[in-house]
Amino acid sequence: METKLYDLLDRFYNEMVEIRRYLHQYPELSFKEEHTPAYIADFHKKLGHNVKTNVGGRGVTAVLQGGRPGPVIALRADFDALPIHEQTDLPFRSRVDGVMHACGHDGHTATLLILAKAINALKEKWRGTIVFIHQHAEEYAPGGAIDMIKDGCLDGVDVIFGTHLWATVPYGKIQYKHGPMMAAVDRFEIEIIGQGGHGAMPHLTKDAVVIGSQLVTNMQQLVSRRVDPLDPAVVSVGSFVAQNAFNVIADRAKLTGTVRTFSEDVRSLLEKELETITHATCQSANAEADFTFSRGYPAVVNHEGETAFLADCAYQVPGVSETEEMKPQMGGEDFAYYLKHAKGTFFFTGAQHPNWEKTYPHHHPKFDIDERSMLLAAKVMGKAALEYDN
């Protein structure tokens, strides 16, 4: 079965590339996907799968029932794009101005569709049930995963596997991580309410720019002095806006930023400390502040047994040159929600082409992948689905 699965995937590889390139030309933003889920649903319907659309909003699930009893295994791919104007010279570059598949979700979708086609060809001898989860809106919180779960996409599922094609990891390498892999992603917004005035008379004002600058400086003490150094955490201010004429002292300033953590205790601590230090800093200048903290995706925490199983599977797949346990990284993924409801693991499939002079990171307007990584991802997930026994 394993050899037959690989042979089928090799045979369907050109179609996998065609699907990826087609989807790349017609990207759709999070929560606005219409054509893509319809395309996915139609593909599965032609294979005879039990298809459900509008799952949790715009998601699609397809169920393949094998001919032999066995576990229920979910495989997930996301399909939304980003509000980025593509700057590549690819012949299949985005035809939608200002929207681009700059994170590889077109490749994820093509991978899962062709894996579904290959497994379908073997379904009479396949052991168990496969649930193909095609998720909308991974890029934009609250994301699509949580609503798809509420809508039942994991009902009866024994295990879930997912991968991300990772453009800064060399092709041929599979990265896995036991336990915490990707960080919780939270957002804060702070509006400082001071008192503006003439730039020549600062003593009559409560300068929101100065107060905001002090606040940014004070924030640097949160991770270094309030968080255990053995617990990773990031507090970053991404924007600081207080636009005025050159000779006007600002009465208001707005700061936005992100907090990244792995521990729920550290997450709660930083939420509390950020609010405290905001109000304390403003109070010291007789100013006021509005503080908002919005929780996004939780941390991706892989299950130990399933991660060890996946790593062992990947090591045996033809074309995988190296498997390694990666360090945790501070990027976020709403695959985290699936892992809170079912056993499973999330891993990276290297997608950096060895001949590229320059590699562009995810969310960059010149982002691209080595398309062979899709085939490798399909083989690793296919082997895991074939051999998993709960």
pLDDT digit string (tens) for 4-53?
Answer: 999 999 999 999 999 999 999 999 999 999 999 999 999 999 999 999 99
Q: In this model, does residue 184 exceed pLDDT 80?
A: yes
Whether 138 is catalytic: yes
State percent of the chain over pLDDT 70: 100
With beta carbons less than 8 A apart as the criterion, state whether 303 and 339 touch.
Answer: yes
The single residue of 138, 139, 186, 271 carrying the catalytic annotation is 138
Q: What confidence score (pLDDT) does residue 19 get? A: 98
pLDDT value, residue 215: 98
Q: What confidence score (pLDDT) does residue 165 get?
A: 98
Please name which of 51, 12, 19, 15 lies closest in space to residue 36, comparing C-alpha atoms.
19
Those residues whose C-beta lies under 8 Å from the C-beta of residue 91, and which sit 6 or more positions away, are none
Q: What is the pLDDT of residues 83-95, one digit of tens each?
A: 999 999 999 999 9
Per-residue pLDDT band at 67 (split at 50, 70, 90): very high
pLDDT in tens, 287-340: 999 999 999 999 999 999 999 999 999 999 999 999 999 999 999 999 999 999
Integer-rounded Cα Rg, in Å, for the chain is 24
95-145: pLDDT as tens digits = 999 999 999 999 999 999 999 999 999 999 999 999 999 999 999 999 999
- Alpha carbons 109 and 101: distance in angstroms, whole number: 11
CA separation, residue 25 to residues 8, 101, 114, 235, 354 (Å): 26, 8, 19, 36, 24
Return mean pLDDT, the chain: 97
Residue 390 has pLDDT above 90, yes or no: no
Please choose, from the candidates 333, 332, 331, 310, the residue with its C-alpha nearest in 3D space to the C-alpha of residue 379: 310
**Annotated active-site residue in 80, 86, 147, 334:** 80
SS3 5: helix
Q: Is 343 helix (H, G, I), strand (E, B) or coil?
A: strand
Nearest CA-CA partner of 147 in 61, 248, 18 = 61
Task: Report the pLDDT value the prediction gives residue 50, as an integer from 0 to 100.
Answer: 98
**Is pLDDT of 265 > 90?**
yes
Name residues whose C-beta falls within 8 Å of residue 303's C-beta, 6 or more positions apart in sequence: 339, 343, 344, 345
Give the DSSP H or E segment for 146: helix 145-150
pLDDT of residue 288: 98
Q: Is 334 a catalytic residue?
A: no
